[in-house]
Amino acid sequence: MSPIAGLLRAPANSSASKGYPSRRPEPGRRKFVSRSVEQTVLRVKALIADPELAWMFENCYPNTLDTTVETGLAGRSPDTFIITGDINAMWLRDSSCQIWPYVALSKADNDLQRLFRGLIGRQSRCILLDSYANAFLADPRGTKPLSWAVDDVTEMRPGVAERKWEIDSLCYCIRLAHGYWRATGDTAPFDIQWSTAMRLVLGTFREQQRKAGQGSYHFQRRTEVPTDTQALGGYGNPARSVGLIYSMFRPSDDACVYSLFVPANLFAVVSLRQLSEMASGILHDDAFASECSSFAGEIEAALEKYGKVSHPVHGEIWAYEVDGFGNSLIMDDANVPGLLSLSYLGCCRSDDPVYRRTRAMAWSASNPYFFKGTAAEGIGGPHVGLEMIWPMSIIMRALTSSDDEEIRQCLRWLKATHAGTGFIHEAFHKDNPAQFTRSWFAWGNSLFGELIMKLSQEKPQVLRNL
């Protein structure tokens, strides 16, 4: 997201008191209230034997609703705008992930249904405004993008906060819509606007296969940070058109080195198959459904041919990025999609041999962005620099594990590194958690809440005995 202004430091008296008082806003100051979410907080908190972990769950799980949601109407339809936290803009990716943990509660909660309908509608309008943008302003006519994006060399449009092309932005909109539909059976959000937006998603993916030239998107930024801009006139480093979708940026909002970003292409396969299911089951458009399914198969075949590499330590694994010429980048980044998160996103089974080897590579010294310190170990990325661990990676390790002790260790690290705040930060220094970035990072809080919810349903013994 934004260039990092500097590390935050926890105040000297930041250690939580023994009583762990709630860090939530007072009830009258909460942005959105869901009865089912409030009931879930009480129910799940009671299952957690460790008081500090229970306190963190109480703070984090409802944080998106408490602090980031604005609701209203767009015509006669619900409208939902969700900021990321300390940045006053809505990312398609973050907004989808921030409310994902509430999907399972939405069938029996009319308030949540209005929230989801509003966000699906808002995301559709954002896509129709600019399918290449990653972040949007609350006012679709607004002409003041985020401060660091003011002078970007790209086709900037009103309503756009930042215009970094990331495959996953569109994938997450499909994931959210599909998850909500499957949970509730509600088809109200899937109107002509949504249908038109989804056809534009497909067209954007097709254009970025670059079979007929570089396409319409380009991006450059005047900056001293090379990961904030793209090479060669803003079209990125050379890559062969082999059937994969080109991505200029990663889910960290950092520039891709090689334009064929493997985790996002794997995510696109899943998303296109979900869109095919919705095209058939909701729109009753078999031609569109078939096109989505066929496209997914084409990307999948290209991934099998070009997306894997032979690692000298770990054997055959997924590469992070490739260029179709035989060059590859072997690393992982904490952001999702990444290699660690492939099974979480449904790109493969958790016991898939290639994934298991890839996961082992990502959580090892073979990954240049894996850091091991006195406070914890985990994956970071270039976005905030070396030796900075993203708690998101620790949460994702637990979400993709079936081993109770591995999950417990992840929970211990998370407990030890929130710097007394009771919230999940963007990143912390591997040896000093009091040095961290972003004290208000709603996606991280939601992901932590999702982990605890998953454990309460599937492995309550872990929460009873940390």
CA 232, chain centre distance (Å): 28
Write out pLDDT tens, residues 154-205. 999 999 999 999 999 999 999 999 999 999 999 999 999 999 999 999 999 9
User: Of 245, 276, 259, which Cα lies nearest the Cα of 325?
Assistant: 259
Average pLDDT over residues 85-95: 98
Other beta carbons less than 10 A from residue 202's beta carbon: 18
Task: Look at residue 6 and tell me whether its pLDDT is greater than 60.
Answer: no
* Beta-carbon count within 10 A of 327 CB: 16
Give me the pLDDT at residue 15, please: 35
Let me know: does 255 contact 228? Beta carbons within 8 Å.
Answer: yes
Nearest to 41 by CA among 12, 72, 62: 62
| Burial group, residue 108, by CB count within 10 angstroms (0-12, 13-18, 19+) | exposed
Spatial separation of the C-alpha atoms in residues 183 and 100, rounded to whole Å:
11
Q: Model confidence over 211-225: pLDDT tens digits?
A: 999 999 999 999 999
The residues, any chain, with a CB within 8 Å of residue 424's CB and separated by 6 or more, are 56, 60, 391, 392, 395, 414, 418, 441, 444, 445, 447, 448
pLDDT average, residue stretch 42-56: 98
Q: What is the pLDDT of residue 249?
A: 98
Over 70: is that where the pLDDT of 9 sits? no
* CA angle at 74 for the pair 73 and 75, rounded to the nearest 5°: 100
7 against 180, higher pLDDT: 180
Q: Can you give the pLDDT at residue 3?
A: 39
386, 441 Cβ separation under 8 angstroms: no
What's the rounded mean pLDDT across residues 377-396?
A: 98
Q: Is the pLDDT of residue 11 over 60?
A: no
- pLDDT (0 to 100) of residue 8: 55
What mean pLDDT value characterizes the chain?
96
Percent helix, strand, coil in the chain, to 5, is: 45, 10, 45
Q: Which helix (H) or strand (E) holds 170?
A: helix 167-184
CA distance 53 to 80: 30
Give the mean pLDDT of 387-405.
98
Q: For the domain 31-223+231-464, what is the CATH code? A: 1.50.10.10
pLDDT digits (tens, 9 = 90+) for 280-297: 999 999 999 999 999 999
At 158, which amino acid appears? P
CB 7 within 8 A of CB 430: no
Over range 382-403, report the average pLDDT. 98
Residue 2 has pLDDT above 50, yes or no: no
17: confidence class by pLDDT, cuts 50, 70, 90? very low
Q: Is the distance from CB of 242 to CB of 302 less than 8 angstroms?
A: yes
Q: What is the 3-state secondary structure (H, E, C) of 311-324?
A: ECCCEEEECCEECC
Closest CA to 439 of 84, 22, 191: 84
| Residue 16: pLDDT over 60 | no
To which residue do tokens 């058109």 refer?
Answer: 241
Asked if residue 405 has pLDDT above 90, the reply is yes
- The SS3 call for residue 207 is helix
Token duo for residue 316: 């055959």
pLDDT of residue 18: 61
Question: What does the pLDDT read at residue 19?
Answer: 81
* pLDDT, mean of residues 31-52: 98
pLDDT tens-place string over residues 129-144: 999 999 999 999 999 9
Enumerate the domain spans of the chain: 31-223+231-464
**Which tokens is 135 given?**
């972040």
Cα separation, 372 vs 370, whole angstroms: 7
